Chain A
Amino acid sequence: SQTIHQWPATLVQPVGSPLSLECTVEGTSNPNLYWYRQAAGRGLQLLFYSVGIGQISSEVPQNLSASRPQDRQFILSSKKLLLSDSGFYLCAGDSPNYGYTFGSGTRLTVV
């Protein structure tokens, strides 16, 4: 089965500090990968998606960027965090055999 590993589970970072959230996929190859952000009590907002190594599509202009250095690795980054970057970040993977599955999420608090 396809498993999405995401870490850390929680993160508290000061304003202006860099960010790196990592997501890795186990159990499938060549998945489509996604980064979502969820505000409290709301639905998910798609931030980035990738259909292959080095291919990144951005859905929302913002302070964040994404990279896919390997087939099963998807990284969400920021050079300087803003207070508005606080939220719950979910990585997801999509493959023909296993459908759409999510990681366990990272709760980011920018202080």
Chain B
Amino acid sequence: AQTVTQSQPEMSVQEAETVTLSCTYDTSENNYYLFWYKQPPSRQMILVIRQEAYKQQNATENRFSVNFQKAAKSFSLKISDSQLGDTAMYFCAFYSNYQLIWGAGTKLIIKP
């Protein structure tokens, strides 16, 4: 069965610092997608970044980047120059064959 594990239930950093959220997954699939979603208190689910498994290059979106290690089945999210608005729950998700498998989430708190 496919699983997604986020081992950090909660993290907090000072504003402007860099923080890395970890995610590992387990699958026998070769073609899949990986996502990081942000869920602020409004509970809107917002896509942060997306990675296709067949692409070796790590995805980057402004201050957000991933370290995708396919062999190790690891997909960590790095947030640079963190901002107060980055405070939210962050979910890692694996997508294949119409299924989006979710991690348990990491609560990230950015302190002023």
> What is A's interface to B at a CB cutoff of 8 Å?
32, 34, 38, 41-44, 46, 49, 51, 57, 88, 90, 92, 94, 99-102, 104-105, 107
Structural contact, B35 and A43, CB atoms closer than 8 A = no
Contact of A34 among B37, B100, B104, B105 (CB under 8 A): B100
Known: A100-B95, A105-B45. A43 touches B103 (CB 8 A): yes
Instruction: Count A-B pairs with CB separation below 8 Å.
Output: 48
Structural contact, B47 and A51, CB atoms closer than 8 A = no
Structural contact, A100 and B103, CB atoms closer than 8 A = no
* B99 interface contact, C-beta 8 A: yes
Q: Which residues from B are CB-within-8-Å of A32? A: 98
Would you give the shortest CB distance from B8 to chain A, in whole angstroms?
Answer: 14
Known: A34-B100, A46-B99, A49-B98. A100 touches B105 (CB 8 A): no
Known: A43-B91, A105-B43. A100 touches B100 (CB 8 A): yes
Structural contact, B100 and A102, CB atoms closer than 8 A = no
Contact of B47 among A38, A46, A101 (CB under 8 A): A101
- Docked pose: A42 CA to B32 CA in angstroms: 23
Known: A99-B50, A102-B45, A105-B44. A44 touches B95 (CB 8 A): no
